Amino acid sequence: MSDRPDATTRIHLDPAIPIEQRADYLVSQMTLEEKVSQMVHPAPAIERLGIPEYNWWNECLHGVGRAGLATVFPQAIGLGATWDVGLMSKVATATSDEARAKHHDFVRRGIRTIYTGLTFWSPNINIFRDPRWGRGHETYGEDPYLTARLGVAFVKGLQGDHPKYLKLVATPKHYAVHSGPEPLRHTFDAQVDERTLRDTYLPAFEACVREGGAHSIMGAYNRVNGEPACASNALLMKILRQEWGFDGYVVSDCGAIRDIFAHHKVVPTPEEAAALSVANGCDLNCGDTFAALGKAVLDGLIPESLVDRSVKRLFTARLRLGMFDPPEMVPYAQIPYDVVDSGKHRRLALRAARSSLVLLKNDGVLPLPRDIGQLAVIGPYADDHTTLRGNYNGTPGEEITILEGIRDRVGRSTQVLHAPGSDITGASAQGFEEAYVVALWADAAIVVLGSSPLLEGEEGAVCGLLGDGDRRSLELPGRQEELLKMVHDAGVPVVLVLTNGSALSVNWADENVAAIIEAWYPGQAAGTAVADVIFGRYNPAGRLPVTFYKSLEQLPPFEDYSMTGHTYRYFRDAPLYPFGYGLSYTRFAYRDLKLQGERLRAGRSLRVSVTVENAGERAGEEVVQLYLTDSEASVPVPVRALKGFRRIRLAPGKSRTVRFRLSPSDMSVIDAEGRRLVEPGRFQLSIGGGQPYSRGTREGDNVLTAQFEVTGRVTATE
């Protein structure tokens, strides 16, 4: 197949001509049939115009996914647990380096199929409002502010900072109000009021568009207040394009346009579904329903000019990626293939895995001595690779299970005894007796339990998912708690390591075992990272990006998209472990909380500072968290809301002053019409290593609080 155009069609190949003009020219040269062919994810070649085939579908939630060799970082929920914007930027940059190198290698070999392009359907910035949702581990957690900060860093790291060329196209998803139930996603209508929409579900998307410059957005399967998300005038036209100024392209989730007529039944035919979507701002169909656009135009359902609008947006992206320019002019095309699975990226994967680990409990047993003698490693996930990778993952060149990491890190005199104890689902008890005997011989037991990407994930996934993806219980699956109790009965100190993508109600473990480490789905360096925490080579500092509830009875119905009772912001009961919680092997003390003033006029910012000291005997990292409560709001507001955080490292005895700036938007409320206002009233502010008045206030720590007053009333502009 030749990619060479004839002599009359070279304008779009001239790098000196502005991209907008080149895109206009390309569209003007296409027939209606050719235009429509470019609006589905496997876009065919148009030889006469020198347009090669291109598949728009690619994934990189935590490293380049589904395209062979790639560095596999912790699953997104683990990256969320790092609370580290700088680290997120490094992970995204490493991912985009590998993506560029792999793409150009594929092109040189004539491969232009799915998972080989430069347009990536990541990150997933939906709010993880309910722990039953199977895809929650693809997100950064339950908080809009944390999700926004990490999402912006990820988008920027993927897209690069060149003034002309995009490194990749990032696609925040799934816009919007989307978080299960998975079996209902093709028919469900998420009902939310304007305040909840703008205070919870939209802030991360707005930040990724306005601050991050995301060049693409993926719509959701479900309806939102009656409108299909991929054909919503309110979401796609009024908010995304008109209000936020988005000028990129919108892609549907896979099969979502078909849902509009086949399942939502908003319109009766494929032609009407395609026309409705394009008219309301969706430009690209992951699926094949947009093939009906040609007939829709001929039937008068949509003018061809709106098809032109979408095709221009798509080719603007391809031109900005440098696909039609000489490779030597595109700096990102020069990234060598040896960055893929490089030593530098392996070290970054280890750093990310370490940073994601959350110490939930420690009665003093950790860290263990490396020369402990006999060490039992028990559990179905101790030597399992599936739980390391999460989903939408690549294939690592080197992958270390928790068992392998422990064996590598123990002292020479320590013997590691291993027994799975159960099958991968935790349903079998055939190995219980062996696990008990192994524990009896040991001086301590590491028990690796939790969930699996086989048990929680996306409905219809192709990775062997057992069930529909969502969870029916927050308890340890199967008979895992029985296994844990049996090991505990052996009378040795027990360290529980959890591998999972969402909250678990490990109430018995919290009361009975010596220590608990939350490991998530920690990526290729999992074993080394977990062993480094267990043996004290690394001081854990991850924080929970979600609330761990005591039971499902504490939660509203799964289908309830109002936030009442959901997430730490609106939850008034006592959790098992609160959002923002995590322990350390050292102690941090807070002092000298200073506010720029205790009274300020509406519309002005407030500067806040606090001094943090490592008051313990080990170097460590602390996540300094700032929460705000509007004590006199005229409308419903969160109990408290995260408004700032910093992850810092301090040597023993050292201190650092950490500064924050609260903007007018941080102090605002949203009225019933969706307007963001700063109104008069008193606010309570807290800064510490966790939330105030909760288990997040750890022994030896201070969570400092202060109050200030806002006078006057203005519309918040930032």
Residues forming the active site: 253, 456
SS (H, E, C) 627-661: EEEECCCCCCCCCCEEEEEEEEEECCCCEEEEEEE
Instruction: Tell whether omega for the bond before 256 is within 30 degrees of 0, i.e. cis.
Output: no
SS3 361: strand
Report d(CA 235, CA 460) in Å as an integer: 26
Cβ–Cβ under 8 Å, residues 632 and 616: no
Residue of 255, 253, 295 lying closest to 272 (CA atoms):
295
Residue 130 CA: distances (Å) to CA of 21, 38, 140, 548, 692: 46, 37, 13, 10, 22
Cβ–Cβ under 8 Å, residues 286 and 280: no
Report d(CA 657, CA 659) in Å as an integer: 7
Which of the 8 DSSP states describes residue 242? I
Residue 628 CA: distances (Å) to CA of 441, 443, 691, 706: 51, 46, 10, 10
User: Strand order in 358-362's β-sheet?
Assistant: 358-362, 515-518, 494-499, 444-450, 374-378, 415-419
Q: Which two tokens stand for residue 22?
A: 């080149």
The residue length of the chain stands at: 718
Report d(CA 92, CA 232) in Å as an integer: 30
Geometric angle at alpha carbon 645, from 696 and 359, rounded to 5°: 40
What residues form DSSP beta bridges with 482? none
Class of residue 464 by CB neighbours under 10 A (exposed 0-12, middle 13-18, buried 19+): exposed
Q: Which residues of 511-524 are buried (b: 16+ CB within 10 A; e: fewer)?
A: eebbbbbbbbbbbb
Geometric angle at alpha carbon 242, from 241 and 247, rounded to 5°: 35
Q: Which two tokens stand for residue 231?
A: 């054909």
Residue of 537, 677, 696 lying closest to 198 (CA atoms):
677
* Alpha-helix runs per DSSP H in 303-342: 304-320
Residue 449 CA: distances (Å) to CA of 352, 422, 519: 21, 10, 10
Q: Alpha-carbon Rg of the chain, whole angstroms?
A: 26
The single-letter code of the amino acid at 440 is: L
- 555 phi-psi bin (left φ>0, alpha ψ -120 to 50, beta other): beta
Q: Which two tokens stand for residue 176?
A: 């919007």
Residue of 262, 256, 265 lying closest to 290 (CA atoms):
256
Report d(CA 325, CA 333) in Å as an integer: 10
Residue 396 CA: distances (Å) to CA of 70, 172, 340, 614: 5, 24, 10, 37
Cα of 336 vs its chain's centroid, Å: 28
Give the dihedral of Cα atoms 218, 220, 223, 229; nearest 10 deg: 0
Residue of 450, 543, 577 lying closest to 141 (CA atoms):
543
416 phi and psi angles, rounded to 5 deg: -95, 120
Which of the 8 DSSP states describes residue 576? S
Report d(CA 92, CA 86) in Å as an integer: 10
SS3 417: strand
